[in-house]
């Protein structure tokens, strides 16, 4: 459905997106997971035709975005991270305007507007000015504007950022329903639980690269079943390295003066030995946390930092 090949974008000396490649299949929800600044929005901007890549290309059903941007844009829906609405207009007027821009007319336009108002739960508030809406309602309308012309592919850039749990559930429900109807969804988020529960496949992105990609199960299998042990305290990095050298099944993922992230594999034997070492007073420890295998643990293993970092 959508093929991304070697997409690269530089801003000065910074490679915001570095040779990113992946594929989206029809009707799937593909989650692009990464912390702020990972390059998700830049990738999405290039896929939406808002930003020209320095290298690489994007193909929509074989159609090159760079060669025929208008034809590709016609098939795309975007749901930007910021709430991009006309606050003076009503929800219905907003939807009618955007549907019109994508060429919908007459009865089809009216039917789609009504359908989307129902879909996002705003049918009863359709005539009121958007400026009187709550944050959650605006988010839902923001989502609806990206769906009103029935695009084949929808790009959603953190559509649930900063809203209440109920509105979030509503949005996730809409995303599942459109995917079930055959719409392909590219969904960026830094909420692990959203990616875990919503997405069919996940690409983990950091520093402009996709570090790993697959279904949740595939990702877990790909990177083993070891626990992630995070230790907080005050450490001398050199001394620490010497101590860990003889410890079988323990791999240092990242280390700073205040925090260690380690992977302890092998049916908890490594973790037990590590804890014995820590409790033996060799190091000053203020806190320890052990995470079972999960997407969060996987992200930590791949990047050495948590998503909220």
Binding residue (CB under 8 A) for another protein from 2, 78, 202, 300: 78
> Contact between 73 and another protein (CB under 8 A)?
yes
Binding residue (CB under 8 A) for another protein from 86, 249, 273, 293: 86
Binding residue (CB under 8 A) for another protein from 100, 128, 214, 304: 100
Binding residue (CB under 8 A) for another protein from 51, 123, 244, 255: 51
Q: Percent helix, strand, coil in the chain (nearest 5)?
A: 40, 30, 30
What is the C-alpha to C-alpha distance for residues 144 and 285, in angstroms, rounded to an integer?
50
Nearest to another protein of 95, 117 (CB atom): 95
Stretch (H or E) spanning 290: strand 284-291
DSSP 8-state assignment for residue 151: -
Count residues near another protein (CB under 8 A): 29
Contacts of 74 by beta carbon, 8 Å cutoff, 6+ apart: 102, 103
> Contact between 95 and another protein (CB under 8 A)?
no
What is the C-alpha to C-alpha distance for residues 35 and 43, in angstroms, rounded to an integer?
14
> Contact between 84 and another protein (CB under 8 A)?
yes
Nearest to another protein of 70, 181 (CB atom): 70
Q: Encode burial over 275-309: b for 16+ CB neighbours within 10 A, e otherwise.
A: bebbeeeebebeebebbebebbbbbbbbbeebbee
Nearest to another protein of 71, 111 (CB atom): 71
Which residues bind to another protein, rule: CB under 8 A?
45, 48-52, 70-71, 73-74, 76, 78, 80, 82-86, 88-89, 93, 97-98, 100-103, 129, 145
């Amino acid at each position: 459905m959508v093929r991304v090949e070697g997409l690269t974008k530089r801003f000065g000396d910074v490679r915001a997106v570095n040779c990113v490649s992946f594929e989206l299949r029809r009707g799937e929800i593909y989650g692009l997971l990464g912390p702020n600044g990972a390059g998700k929005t830049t990738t999405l901007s290039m896929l939406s035709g808002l930003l020209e890549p320095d290298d690489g290309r994007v193909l929509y059903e074989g159609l090159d975005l760079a060669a025929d941007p208008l034809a590709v844009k016609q098939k795309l829906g975007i749901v930007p991270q910021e709430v991009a609405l006309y606050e003076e207009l009503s929800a219905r007027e907003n939807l009618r305007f955007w549907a019109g821009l994508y060429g919908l007319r007459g009865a089809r336009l009216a039917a789609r507007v009504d359908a989307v108002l129902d879909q996002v739960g705003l049918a009863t508030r359709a005539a009121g000015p958007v400026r009187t809406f709550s944050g959650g309602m605006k988010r839902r309308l923001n989502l609806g504007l990206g769906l009103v012309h029935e695009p084949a592919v929808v790009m959603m850039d953190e559509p649930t950022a900063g809203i209440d749990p109920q509105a979030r559930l509503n949005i996730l429900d809409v995303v599942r329903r459109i995917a079930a109807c055959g719409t392909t969804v590219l969904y960026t988020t830094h909420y692990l639980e959203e990616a875990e529960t919503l997405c069919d496949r996940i690409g983990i992105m950091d520093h402009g690269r996709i570090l790993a990609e697959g279904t949740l199960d595939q990702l877990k299998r790909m990177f083993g079943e070891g626990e992630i042990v995070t230790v907080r305290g005050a450490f001398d990095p050199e001394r620490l390295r010497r101590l860990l050298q003889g410890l079988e099944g323990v791999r240092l993922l990242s280390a700073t003066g205040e925090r260690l992230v380690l992977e302890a594999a092998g049916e908890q034997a490594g973790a037990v030995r590590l804890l014995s070492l820590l409790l033996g007073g060799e190091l000053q420890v203020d806190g320890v946390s052990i995470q079972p295998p999960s997407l969060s643990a996987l992200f930590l293993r791949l990047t050495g930092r948590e998503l909220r970092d």
